[in-house]
Chain A
Amino acid sequence: MPHENKRAVGIDLGTTNSLVATMRDGAAKTLADAQGVVSISSVVNYTDPQRVRVGVEAQALASEHPADTLASIKRFMGRGNEDARDEAHRSHYALNDGEQGMVGFETSSGVVSPVQASAEILKALRSRAEQTMDGTIEGAVITVPAYFDEAQRQATKDAATLAGLPVLRLLNEPTAAAVAYGLESADEGLIAVYDLGGGTFDISILHLHRDVFEVLSTGGDTALGGDDFDRLIADWVLTQIGSPELVAGQHRTLLSLARDAKEALSESDDILIPLGEIGTGFDPLSLSRTQFDALILPLVKHTLRACRRALRDAQLAPDAINNIVLVGGSTRVPLVRAAVAEFFQREPLAGIDPDEVVAVGAAIQADILVGNRPEGELLLLDVIPLSLGIETMGGLVEKIVERNTTIPVVRAQEFTTYKDGQTALAVHIVQGERELVADSRSLARFELRGIPPMVAGAARILVSFQVDADGLLSVSAREETTGVRSSIVVKPSFGLSDEQISGMLQASFSHAEEDKNSRILAELCVAAKQLLEGLEVALAADGDDLLKPGEMDALRAQMEKVQAQLTGGNVEALRTASDQLGRDSEAFAARRMDKSIRQALTGVSLDDVSEEVSE
């Protein structure tokens, strides 16, 4: 195994700003542009079809081309048109009735999806990182709010794929923040991460024990953040000046003035809002911190309610928390800090810049996952933020995986047919805490067909849910008496299909057919080599121990077949051989897992615990 460090980055893809960080000289650092600015505004402009603009450059065009300039894109990620309409109206975007109810913005460069716009931001971060690090990024950890649902996570992953970033893991933002602090101060105990960003609010309760972070519970609101503070100020201003009609560009200016006012009020008790910038005939207006506090108090209280819920889910009292980590620029608002400190009866940590702490944590985790550090250093055990279930009779939801269950998780539940001779069963997968399907989020539907006709209630249909470490779901259904099975990897209704992604990738690369083939071949070769190297190491360590001679020979033979195809240049043959080797080696891999379970608990003698009663 080569010892040189792989290039890995942590990315905070934020509602307002995005950052990229990496390990440099032993510490995680955010990467700045030539001017020394670390964050990129999460704004994309599509006025010129030949050139998509990102960041400040795009921001500068916002007032002039409001419909072409997409900001707060994260709020639209993985949302359907129905969900997004109010949001779009407030932001003055033109929504297109996209395929499958997907959100699409009408711009001068055509219809743009939130996934595509996010990919542009990720590309900008990627190229900044590749310039700084002088080479291709080999792995990225991208952060998402803990409260992001299935569809929103999938959309984020799709955007990364589109931007050509290999995703090691989607990481919950609060967990990333705790990683940033945890490694530097080596704390043990209970941590609350209060994350009030531009567009989302998250509260997470984490348990840190030696090298392991365990997420005990999460809560929050995907549609609450500092932008809402700005909006409240803007609405207040409009009421004060007699609610004049503003055009979209003027509205933008007002919002940006509101943001400046909010930031200034973190330092001063009283400020003057220069409304003249909106247009002639507007006079400056004064706003005090007391007035501002009164405006935002309901929202701040709303966040504390979510804190209380998260604590209850973790079965803890507020004073049980040892550390509070603040994340997000909005935690600079004095009222927010004071309210959090009062609620937890403790002063929050603020050693790391609340705007950078997430990217810093993600970079540390990326460094670990890409394999730059010895194993066993740090482990993150996440939970799913929302319950997953399926629709049953009468439009009711049967929960299969409860919210705040530690992932990965595999759960199965048995169902039956309700009509005589029923040969198919529709499986409708939903997400959320409500009891009615109508109130829940629909994730996917599929059908189990080919059930032999039986009397109602005789079929035994086992529906299994599997959620991986990224929080992404796959569901399968099997009729137990006959073994008929059907499964689906949940591509949420509002995400992109694999075909759409590869279509977009092709469009963006516009490679000739051979080029595309050679890229696929190159990717396959890398994967196959990885498989072979991994197996060599595994065989050397455990081959004699865990494999019978015949099994070892068979595995070796298949390895040689793959080896032979590495240089053959035949995509299909290499794929077939690699897939076969993967399947052949599964049993061996499973035995190794069993062995490592036994080894993990060595030193624990079974005799010690046989019959004694411990309390």
Chain B
Amino acid sequence: MTTPDFQQSYFQLFSLPRQFALDNTLLGERFRQLQGQLHPDRFASKSAHEQRIAVQYSAFVNQAYTTLRRPLDRAFYLLQLAGMSAEEVSAEKIDGGFLIEQMELREKLESIADLVEPETVLEHLILEIAADIKAHEQEFVAAFTADDISGAASACVKMQYLGKLHREAEQIESGLLD
């Protein structure tokens, strides 16, 4: 199995600026343009070798698209381009205040089923978490633009914590709705 050796970054692949702010519509358009050329279905009646290479290229474009489309993955990727591995990012120190907030949010979430009107409370909680995520995205952008890589990494880890909490809250919500 040969893997296509792309020297270019995912941002270069889609001709987009290397930054956190992203034009999602443009990303989607360019993604579809590229897949229009590279997808293995375009090679369905070609030789097996061409098909195999198309799978590799198409997979690379998919990977790039998925990474850039999700804010958290995009943040991790920007840090990676700045020379920081995922492990290094995860090892970044987080201030105690944030961790206490996290524990409080989590406790709220765990006791939600006992409430009289869990749906309403949960809905508010989900909105609160989503707003928190946005705030830390801004924190990330500010630090990253100022070349404060360690600060950006710390914001990234916080986004990760909150993202996990957000998913759990949504799962509980779907459980309540069922």
Which of A40-48, A196-204, A305-313, A508-516 lies at the interface with chain B?
Answer: A305-313
B90 at the interface (CB under 8 A from A): no
By secondary structure, the B interface counts as helix
* Given known A-B contacts A593-B4, A604-B15, A312 and B174 have beta carbons under 8 A apart: yes
Interface residues in B43-79 (C-beta closer than 8 Å to A) = 44-50, 53-60, 62-63, 65-66
Give the size of the chain B interface in residues (CB under 8 angstroms). 50
Contact call A614/B44, Cβ cutoff below 8 A: no
Contact digits for B149-162, partner A, Cβ 8 Å, 1 yes 0 no: 00000000000000
Interface residue? B22 (CB, 8 A): yes
Using Cβ atoms and an 8 Å threshold, which residues of chain A touch B63? 409-411
A552 to chain B, nearest CB (A): 18
Q: Output the least CB separation between B75 and chain A (Å).
A: 16
CB neighbours of B37 from chain A (8 A): 596-597, 599-600
Considering residues B16, B30, B50, which has the most beta carbons from chain A within 10 angstroms of its beta carbon? Answer: B50
Q: Closest approach, in angstroms, between the C-beta of B175 and any C-beta of chain A?
A: 10
Answer yes or no: B101 CB below 8 A from chain A CBs.
no
Most B C-beta atoms less than 10 A away, residue of A371, A534, A610 = A534
Contacts A469-B40, A531-B49 given; indicate if A487 touches B1 (C-beta within 8 A): yes
CB distance from B13 to the nearest CB of A (A): 7
Q: Are A609 and B15 in contact (CB under 8 A)?
A: yes
Query: How would residues 152 to 176 of chain A score, 1 for a CB under 8 Å from any chain B CB and 0 otherwise?
Result: 0000000000000000110000000
**Which residues from A are CB-within-8-Å of B62?**
405-409
In Å, the complex CA distance between A355 and B62 comes to 33
B178 in the interface, Cβ–Cβ < 8 Å? yes
A410 and B39 within 8 A (CB): no
Q: Using Cβ atoms and an 8 Å threshold, which residues of chain B touch A375? A: 42
- Chain A residues with Cβ below 8 Å from B28 are 209
Interface: A393 (CB within 8 A): no
In the complex, the chain B residue whose C-beta lies closest to that of A464 is B1
Could you say which of B3, B13, B23, B174 contacts A410, with CB atoms under 8 Å apart?
A: B3
Given contacts A212-B36, A469-B39, A593-B38, contact A370 B45 (CB under 8 A): yes
Bound CA span A474–B37, Å: 24
Which partner residue on chain A sits nearest B46 by CB separation?
Answer: A534
One digit per residue, 1 when the CB lies within 8 angstroms of any chain B CB and 0 when it does not, for chain A 35-66 equals: 00000000000000000000000000000000
Tell me if A468 is interfacial: C-beta within 8 Å of chain B. yes
Nearest opposing residue in chain A for B61, CB measure: A597
**Chain B nearest Cβ from A10, distance in angstroms:** 14
- CA distance in complex: A597, B37 (Å): 7
Task: Please give me the 10 A-B residue pairs with the lowest Cβ-Cβ distance, nearest first.
Answer: A410-B59, A369-B44, A582-B49, A469-B40, A371-B45, A531-B47, A408-B59, A614-B23, A212-B32, A596-B37
- Chain A residues with CB under 8 Å of chain B are 139, 168-169, 209-212, 214, 305, 308-309, 312, 368-371, 375-376, 379-381, 405-411, 464, 466, 468-469, 474, 476, 487, 527, 530-531, 534, 582-583, 585-586, 589-590, 593-594, 596-597, 599-601, 604, 606, 609-615
Show 15 residue pairs from A and B whose CB-CB distance is below 8 angstroms, ordered by the A residue: A168-B44, A169-B44, A211-B32, A308-B178, A370-B44, A371-B45, A379-B42, A407-B62, A408-B55, A408-B62, A487-B1, A597-B38, A604-B15, A614-B22, A614-B23
Interface residues of B (CB under 8 A from A): 1-4, 13-17, 19, 21-23, 26, 28, 30, 32-42, 44-50, 53-60, 62-63, 65-66, 170, 174, 177-178
Known: A209-B28, A469-B58, A593-B53. 17 other contacts (CB 8 A): A169-B41, A308-B174, A312-B174, A368-B41, A369-B45, A406-B62, A407-B62, A408-B55, A466-B55, A468-B40, A527-B47, A582-B48, A593-B57, A600-B30, A601-B15, A611-B17, A613-B19
